């Protein structure tokens, strides 16, 4: 190769190049060639991906339109609809025989299912079963990639395909948090309130957002939920937090014995959430303990305690609130004024008298006027 290169050099520049220069030039040319091939490959792959995504989007739009036609038709199942639309027979035969297109079809059904309820949602669920798409979702559970497993679980839960409940449940303690989240939501969709049984000995942290998602599923599917009292005593603080949300969400009134000890919990957020819960369920038996522990609470907890005490107090507690009205913390003082106004029928009159007796305190007058304004603080 060097001899050939030297002959070429002689014909161009009239003499041979030293061997080391020939090697350097050859390596440089090789790098240029590799760079060109790499750039070309990236460009071609990107172009292919763009075309593929464009075609896939067009395919999904066509399928969505045709499935909407099917949903609003009088046909009881997809087979009878397809018999009435023979022009689509070859198309759907090709789709159902190709894994890539089947997955795209499932995505269309999932999106449609999110948009419909009642008989239309049931018709989509039946179509998922009729076309055996549950087998595609089940295959995803058997992969080694967590997000593909999560996608399979999401498909199964959206379509409420209960026969795969056990296949889904086995991932409840999966190492990846997002996969566990999908499993938790699936269990509630399958079993509703009974699906919460996984909390009995659950060791992983359930994020605040995940708790909100679980509550949303529960409140949409169940009118009443029974909780295990052990959840309120769990060493897993996120389980305690979720149990408190359930007590609030369903206004469960018979767990005072388990709730009150939580006012002394080591976790400040659990204490705060317990105070909120006691206020929302308006458990009058909690008043004395809230008053006793009040000065041990941090500022955020005190604010919540005052909000809770509004629903638990009466005329006899006005002196307590009046004392707090003069707190150096404006938020505490404001909540105390609100408590005076709302906890007694004489509240507005008491505030008016306090304003008159403290005419020299611009701060107190401003707080009381703010609270007495019916457009700001309603009765």
Digitized pLDDT (tens) for each residue of the chain, 379 residues in all: 555 555 555 555 555 556 666 577 667 767 777 777 777 677 666 765 666 668 778 888 888 998 999 999 988 888 888 888 888 888 888 888 988 889 999 999 999 999 888 899 999 999 999 999 999 999 999 999 999 999 999 999 999 999 999 999 999 999 999 999 999 999 999 999 999 999 999 999 999 999 999 999 999 888 888 889 999 999 999 999 999 999 999 999 888 889 999 999 999 999 999 999 999 998 888 899 999 999 999 999 999 999 999 888 888 899 999 999 999 999 999 999 999 988 888 888 989 888 888 888 889 989 989 988 887 766 5
Contact criterion met (CB below 8 Å) for 56 and 104: yes
Q: Distance between CA atoms of 347 and 343, rounded to whole angstroms? A: 7
The helix (run of H) or strand (run of E) holding residue 277 is helix 268-280
Identify which of 296, 302, 315 has the alpha carbon closest to the alpha carbon of residue 275. Answer: 302
Name the DSSP class of 282.
T
Torsion of CA 203, 206, 207, 212, to 10 degrees: -170
Exposed (0-12), middle (13-18) or buried (19+): which is 86, by Cβ within 10 Å? exposed
Q: Is the Cα dihedral 108, 111, 114, 116 positive or negative?
A: negative
Report how far apart, in Å, the C-alpha atoms of 223 and of each of 77, 217, 232, 251, 283 are: 32, 11, 21, 11, 21
Buried b (16+ CB within 10 A) or exposed e, 98-122: eeebbebbbbbbbebbeeeeeeebe
Residue 222 sits at φ, ψ, to 5 deg, of -130, 135
Report how far apart, in Å, the C-alpha atoms of 7 and of each of 19, 28, 47, 98 are: 13, 19, 42, 57
């Amino acid at each position: 190769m060097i001899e050939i290169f030297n002959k070429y050099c002689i014909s161009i520049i009239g003499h041979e190049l030293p061997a080391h220069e020939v090697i350097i030039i050859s390596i440089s040319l090789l790098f240029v060639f590799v760079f060109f091939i790499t750039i070309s490959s990236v460009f071609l792959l990107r172009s292919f991906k763009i075309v593929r995504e464009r075609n896939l989007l067009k395919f999904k739009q066509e399928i969505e339109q045709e499935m909407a036609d099917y949903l609003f038709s009088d046909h009881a199942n997809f087979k009878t609809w397809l018999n009435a639309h023979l022009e689509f027979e070859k198309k759907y035969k090709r789709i159902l025989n190709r894994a890539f297109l089947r997955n795209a079809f499932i995505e269309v059904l999932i999106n449609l299912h999110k948009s419909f309820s009642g008989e239309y949602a049931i018709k989509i669920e039946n179509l998922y079963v009729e076309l055996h798409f549950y087998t595609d979702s089940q295959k995803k559970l058997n992969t080694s990639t967590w997000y593909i497993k999560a996608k399979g679980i999401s498909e199964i839960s959206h379509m409420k395909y209960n026969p795969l409940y056990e296949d889904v449940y086995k991932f409840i303690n999966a190492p990846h948090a997002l996969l566990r989240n999908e499993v938790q939501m699936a269990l509630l969709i399958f079993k509703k309130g009974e699906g919460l049984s996984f909390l009995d000995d659950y060791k992983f942290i359930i994020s605040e957002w995940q708790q909100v998602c679980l509550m949303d599923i529960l409140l949409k599917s169940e009118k009443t939920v029974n909780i295990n009292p052990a959840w309120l005593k769990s060493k897993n603080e996120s389980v305690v937090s979720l149990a408190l949300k359930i007590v609030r969400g369903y206004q469960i009134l018979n767990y005072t014995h388990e709730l009150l000890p939580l006012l002394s919990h080591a976790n400040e957020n659990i204490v705060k959430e317990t105070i909120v819960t006691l206020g929302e369920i308006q458990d009058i038996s909690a008043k004395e303990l809230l008053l006793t522990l009040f000065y041990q609470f941090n500022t955020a907890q005190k604010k919540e305690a005052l909000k809770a005490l509004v629903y638990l107090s009466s005329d006899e507690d006005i002196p307590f609130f009046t004392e707090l009205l003069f707190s150096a913390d404006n938020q505490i003082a404001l909540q105390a004024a609100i408590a005076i106004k709302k906890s007694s029928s004489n509240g507005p009159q008491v505030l008016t008298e306090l304003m008159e007796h403290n005419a020299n305190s611009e701060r107190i007058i401003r707080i009381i006027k703010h609270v007495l304004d019916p457009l700001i603080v309603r009765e």
